[in-house]
Amino acid sequence: MLQITDIDSYYGASHILHGVGLEAGKGELVGILGRNGTGKTTLLRTIMGMTTRATGSLKLNGQELIGEPTNKRAFAGFGYVPQGRQIIPDFTIRENILMGRFAAKDGRKDIPEIVYEIFPYLIENLDRPGGVLSGGQQQQLAIARALATEPSVLLLDEPTEGIQPNIVEQIEKTIIRLNKELGLTILLVEQNIRFVRAAATRFVMMENGRSVATGATADLTEALISKHMTI
């Protein structure tokens, strides 16, 4: 479904990713791991066409997207939840969610049923400004906005970072549900090894802008974690 081959990516003259590759089949959840500053966020931004330049191959369902702008990639099926959520605080919950509808394949402008089902709190407070929500509620809103694009691949950049503990479990359960029950393919950047082991089918370990280890989640050993994630 998703094939990334020999990707190099740049911010200006800075060469960040070096020959990165990964694959994700339909309905898989792939955990992307590594220390801070190893290129995990840049990988997701590269997939979305948000770096200065990238070379290599990025195919979704056989369609080559490496030279396409961000909006074309969203239309092709990528939904993106960036690190820090990046909701618009002065927009209402409703307006933030509907921003994602620009990429909906059926052209509809209503809130999708999946948001009603998974995020009842947001639905009950559609006219509240996004900026008054807690960090965990804003993360839920960012996921709802991405789901409004009707993605076939959801990109999540550290979705539990900086979230109050009682909401972290809710967000983790939501991600697992989106993957296991609804069959959504997910690329998950995450530092929480416990969550990756519970949720992911496969993993990619990154170091210095390169993918240095890949495999089934069962192959994510303590030795590998110690080598590439211990500070």
Specify the pLDDT at position 187: 98
Instruction: Render the chain in DSSP notation, one character per residue.
Output: -EEEEEEEEEETTEEEEEEEEEEE-TT-EEEEE-STTSSHHHHHHHHTT-SSEEEEEEEETTEE-TTS-HHHHHHHTEEEE-TT----TTSBHHHHHHHGGGG-TT---SPPHHHHHH-HHHHHTTTSBGGGS-HHHHHHHHHHHHHTT--SEEEEESTTTT--HHHHHHHHHHHHHHHHTT--EEEEE-S-HHHHHHH-SEEEEEETTEEEEEEEGGG--HHHHHHHH--
The domain that contains 200 carries what CATH number?
A: 3.40.50.300
Residues of the chain above pLDDT 70, percent: 99
The predicted model scores a pTM of: 0.94
Average pLDDT score over the chain: 94
pLDDT in tens, 197-219: 999 999 999 999 999 999 999 99
Domain count, the chain: 1
- Domain of residue 82, residue span: 2-229
Q: Quick check: 115 pLDDT over 70? A: yes
pLDDT in tens, 120-177: 999 999 999 999 999 999 999 999 999 999 999 999 999 988 888 888 999 999 999 9
